């Protein structure tokens, strides 16, 4: 008797709902509150792609050895983020652009980066693996690093020394180059 068995199965649920004083509408309201609680929070809707690629030479590249010179780099840009009130924009992201001269072959040279001194900030935006310019941007020969910098009206000072070592596909390394990255901080867009 399938109908009787189904009736018995529904009885404990109805009894529970009765004891909790819930009906179907009340269950939907509780579910909506739980759902809103799970999705509510602060979110940064802008997540730009990294401005670099992991340096992982192919097998054919590893057999090509080329001499490396000390990489000459300059700080081409520091853009500080700000809150424009639009949660979907990227205005809150800061950007650091490091531009390289073309002494080493762009397509087959990676860079090992390490923060030697200065703010802790650099340790979480600088990757701990060798990187190279993005393949779709070889002509520029630059690395971009982004971080969330918006949300307050005052920017922290940036003062760090970055060690840059060129790496060949065979794993050979150049002498280090030291790049000073500084920004005075202060009010927005200074």
Q: In what order do the strands lie in the sheet with 73-79?
A: 73-79, 93-100, 142-148
**Residue 89 exposure: Cα atoms within 13 Å on the Cβ side:** 12
Reply yes or no on whether the pLDDT at 190 is more than 50: no
Kindly report the pTM of this predicted structure.
0.70
Reply yes or no on whether the pLDDT at 12 is more than 80: no
Confidence bin at 173 (pLDDT 50/70/90): very high
Distance, in Å, from the CA atom of 171 to the CA atom of 66, rounded to the nearest integer, reads 10
Mean pLDDT to the nearest integer, 29-38? 68
Residue 157's pLDDT is 85
Least confident of 21-35, 83-97, 174-188: 21-35
Mean pLDDT to the nearest integer, 63-90? 84
Exposure class string for 144-168: b at 16+ Cβ within 10 A, else e = bbbeebbeeeebeebbbebebbbbb
Mean pLDDT to the nearest integer, 107-128? 86
The pair of three-digit structure tokens given for residue 111, joined into one six-digit string = 């860079």
CB of 116 closer than 8 Å to CB of 177: no
Which tens digit of pLDDT belongs to each residue from 135-171? Answer: 887 888 999 998 888 767 778 888 999 999 999 998 8
Distance, in Å, from the CA atom of 80 to the CA atom of 137, rounded to the nearest integer, reads 22
Residue that wins the pLDDT comparison between 101 and 82: 101
Q: What integer best gives the mean pLDDT of the chain?
A: 79
> Residue 184 in 3-state DSSP?
coil
Reply yes or no on whether the pLDDT at 131 is more than 90: yes
Q: Where are the domains of the chain?
A: 2-39, 53-187
- Looking at domain 53-187, what is its CATH homologous superfamily? Immunoglobulins (2.60.40.10)
């Amino acid at each position: 008797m399938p109908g009787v068995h189904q009736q018995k199965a529904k009885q404990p649920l109805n009894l529970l709902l009765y004891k909790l004083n819930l009906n179907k509408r009340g269950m939907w309201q509780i579910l909506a509150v739980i759902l809103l609680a799970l999705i509510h929070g602060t979110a940064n809707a802008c997540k730009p792609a990294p401005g670099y690629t992991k340096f992982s030479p192919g097998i054919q590249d590893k057999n090509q050895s080329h001499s490396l010179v000390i990489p000459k780099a300059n700080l081409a840009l520091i853009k500080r983020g700000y809150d424009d009130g639009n949660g979907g924009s990227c205005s809150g992201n800061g950007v650091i652009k490091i531009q390289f001269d073309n002494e080493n072959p762009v397509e087959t040279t990676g860079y090992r980066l390490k923060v030697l001194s200065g703010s802790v900030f650099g340790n979480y935006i600088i990757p701990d693996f060798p990187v190279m310019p993005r393949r779709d941007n070889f002509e520029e020969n630059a690395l971009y690093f982004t971080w969330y910098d918006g949300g307050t009206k005052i920017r922290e000072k940036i003062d760090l020394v970055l060690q840059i070592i060129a790496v060949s596909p065979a794993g050979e390394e150049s002498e280090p180059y030291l790049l000073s990255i500084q920004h005075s901080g202060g009010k927005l867009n200074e």
